[in-house]
Structure 1
Amino acid sequence: MLDMSDVGLENACPEVREEPDGILRVEVHGDLTDDRARAVVGALRRVAESGREVLVLADTRHTGAIPASARKVAAEELRTARPDAVAIIGASFSLRVVVALLAKGVHMLTGQPYPQQFFGTEGEARAWLLAQRDALRARRRPVP
């Protein structure tokens, strides 16, 4: 299995790091700027282009504001860098609304559902992501 250093991401985006189980942890401390949004989605795109599943654990407990320009950048960038599943923890009500609108926008632009779910704990989020990974791998197995 390729890891983030194999796809050149180990220092490219400090907001994204790979965990031992292959989940990509995204943590933005402070406001999400346009450049930070591009960097995060770019890191996810590079992992997807490597052929790996893109399973994202977004820890939003320290995320600040997400201005309209950063939401627009993220929606545009996610059109070509679709994660396989995104589990979000620590989201405030306003952040849940923003993410739900972003997911709807990506769905409208791509015609494909945006696989995201909110969780109260990291354990629940991680379990859901690993179940999503198992389901993806089961669907990709060749039929004997």
Structure 2
Amino acid sequence: MRSWQLIGKHRICIEQDVVYVVIQGDIQGDEVVTLCEELTQVQRQYGLVFDILDATAAGGMSAEARRQVGEWYRQNHLEIEIAVFGASLLLRTLFSLMTNALRMLSRNHLLMHFVATEGEAKAWVAERRDKKHATAGSR
């Protein structure tokens, strides 16, 4: 049974190096910064962090929230791979644009992958984890 905690109206659950996020409606700047801090804690503990993001009920992100997350990424180090499921075409487009902008503005590794279901998201994360461990082991 997953143990969920709230960040505003959104929910997160941390299971080892995977952070499950359920977005409910619009996300505010302080919520996304709090989420980034949680992700950073997981990265410190495990050396890497994956995010499985349920965007089924997600809304948008204000310009102020986008500014805050951009500022956070420029000032902090976070290497994350995100599997998003349930996102509409509009959200996939917005997430892709934001991800590309964050990659250009920061020194962080940020990879976002869109899938249809939570099962596909879990499978992608397992594949990425195996690949990262194999790459780390060959060094």
Q: Is the 8 A contact 2:50 2:80 kept in 1?
A: yes
RMSD across aligned positions (CA)? 2.4
Which structure has greater strand proportion? 2
State the Cα distance separating 1:17 from its structure 2 match: 0.9
Map 1:1-144; keep pairs closer than 5 Å: 13=7, 15-19=11-15, 22-79=17-74, 80-110=76-106, 114-141=110-137, 143=139
CA gap 1:84/1:34 in 2 versus in 1, 3 angstroms: closer
CA gap 1:63/1:12 in 2 versus in 1, 3 angstroms: closer
Q: Is the 8 A contact 1:12 1:43 kept in 2?
A: no
Q: Distance in 1 between matches of 2:115 and 2:99?
A: 16
Letter in 2 for 1:53: L
Q: Distance in 2 between matches of 1:23 and 1:86?
A: 10
Q: Is the 8 A contact 2:18 2:49 kept in 1?
A: yes
Match of 1:3 in 2: none
CA deviation profile, 1:23-66 (whole Å, cap 9, x unmatched):
21011212101111111111101111224320100101121221
Q: Is the 8 A contact 1:15 1:26 kept in 2?
A: yes
Letter in 2 for 1:54: V
Q: Is the 8 A contact 1:23 1:56 kept in 2?
A: yes
TM-score between the two structures when normalised by the length of structure 2: 0.82
State the Cα distance separating 1:95 from its structure 2 match: 1.0
Match of 1:7 in 2: none
* Unmatched 5+ stretches in structure 2: none
Ranges of 4+ aligned residues in structure 1 off by more than 4 Å: 10-14
Identity %: 26
State the Cα distance separating 1:115 from its structure 2 match: 1.0
State the Cα distance separating 1:87 from its structure 2 match: 0.2
